[in-house]
């Protein structure tokens, strides 16, 4: 009889958990946070493209600009952002970005830190880049001429590849998101040796956290663009 009671209690606990699933990336209640964020977002100006990438010849918005256009509205409405690097159980470095409200409510995003190279300069630049991406996504900052998926930046190289190799035009709606192979990653890393800023530009334009996350459909066009820019650099140095 006792065992039967224990079983009923266990089933009741399971049922309760299913009815009230635990959300791991936010506090149980975020009603006040959402209300405050809605007001803050309405007050935020659109970020300007205050920097120019000399190799892609494209303007972009750096992290300082993103923070500058958003922080006053966030602070005014009891909101703050915490970004910290922690190590998980598997020994991986994770960037935690937490949006906090004065009520104690919070929401969080987690991003793996997988830089293309392990030297300190690459790591610093890489972390700055993913901090900007995570911060912007969580807070809802917008910038002029945003091109997150890299379509515009890679258009010319993709057209060359399509005409020369492929039998059909590239269509993002028909492509699956399969990441590049180990051999393709090795080829990219070989081409990008000593080209830290170029590696960052590629990842930034494709909105990926590491070269290993590159979609296969972007590999050939990215490789062509990388080689074109490297060739242009050599000509400039002569």
Check if the beta carbon of residue 170 is closer than 8 Å to that of residue 217: yes
Using the Cα atoms of residue 190, residue 194, residue 195 and residue 199 in order, give the sign of their dihedral.
Answer: positive
Q: What is the pLDDT of residue 198?
A: 85
Per the model's pLDDT, the better-predicted residue between 2 and 223 turns out to be: 223
Using the Cα atoms of residue 76, residue 77, residue 82 and residue 83 in order, give the sign of their dihedral.
Answer: negative
* Whether the predicted pLDDT of 235 surpasses 60: yes
Q: What is the pLDDT of residue 61?
A: 67
Section 116-130 average pLDDT: 78
Check if the beta carbon of residue 61 is closer than 8 Å to that of residue 145: no
Quote the CA–CA distance of 218 and 29 in Å, as a whole number: 40
* Whether the predicted pLDDT of 8 surpasses 70: no
Section 60-84 average pLDDT: 89
Q: Is 148 helix (H, G, I), strand (E, B) or coil?
A: coil
Section 55-60 average pLDDT: 48
Q: What is the pLDDT of residue 113?
A: 85
Q: Provide the pairing of β-strand 93-101 with 106-112.
A: antiparallel
Looking at the DSSP bridge assignments, the partners of residue 101 are: 79
* Whether the predicted pLDDT of 174 surpasses 50: no
What are the extents of the domains in the chain?
20-124, 151-237
Whole-angstrom CA distances from 160 to 136, 157, 170, 184, 192 are 33, 5, 11, 19, 21
Section 2-21 average pLDDT: 60
Q: What is the pLDDT of residue 163?
A: 39
> How much is the mean pLDDT over the chain?
75
pLDDT (tens digit per residue) in 195-234: 888 888 888 888 787 888 888 888 888 888 888 888 887 7
What are the phi and psi torsion angles at 47 (to 5°)?
-70, 145
Enter the DSSP assignment of 28.
Answer: S
Quote the CA–CA distance of 127 and 22 in Å, as a whole number: 30
Q: What is the pLDDT of residue 208?
A: 82
Q: What is the pLDDT of residue 120?
A: 76
Quote the CA–CA distance of 209 and 116 in Å, as a whole number: 9
Whole-angstrom CA distances from 171 to 85, 97, 156, 175 are 37, 33, 14, 7
Q: What is the pLDDT of residue 3?
A: 60
Per the model's pLDDT, the better-predicted residue between 97 and 5 turns out to be: 97
The count of residues in the chain is 238
Which of the residue ranges 52-66, 101-115, 206-220 has the most confident prediction, judged by mean pLDDT?
101-115
Q: What is the pLDDT of residue 4?
A: 60
């Amino acid at each position: 009889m006792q065992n039967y009671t224990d079983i009923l209690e266990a089933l009741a606990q399971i049922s309760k958990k299913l009815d009230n699933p635990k959300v791991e990336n936010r506090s149980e209640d975020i009603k006040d946070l959402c209300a405050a964020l809605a007001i803050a977002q309405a007050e935020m100006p659109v970020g300007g493209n205050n920097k120019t990438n000399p190799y892609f010849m494209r303007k972009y918005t750096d992290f300082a600009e993103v923070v500058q256009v958003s922080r006053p509205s966030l602070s005014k409405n009891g909101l703050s952002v915490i970004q910290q690097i922690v190590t998980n159980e598997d020994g991986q470095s994770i960037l935690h970005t937490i949006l906090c409200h004065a009520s104690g409510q919070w929401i969080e995003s987690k991003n793996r830190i997988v830089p293309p190279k392990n030297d300190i300069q690459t790591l610093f630049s890489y972390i700055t880049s993913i901090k900007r991406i995570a911060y912007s996504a969580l807070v809802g900052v917008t910038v002029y001429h945003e091109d997150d998926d890299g379509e515009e930046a890679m258009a010319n190289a993709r057209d060359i590849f399509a005409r020369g190799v492929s039998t059909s035009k590239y269509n993002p709606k028909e492509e699956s998101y399969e990441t590049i192979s180990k051999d393709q990653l090795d080829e990219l890393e070989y081409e990008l040796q000593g080209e830290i800023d170029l590696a960052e530009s590629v990842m930034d334009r494709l909105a990926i956290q590491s070269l290993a996350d590159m979609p296969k459909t972007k590999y050939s066009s990215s490789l062509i663009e990388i080689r074109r820019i490297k060739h242009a650099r050599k000509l400039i140095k002569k």
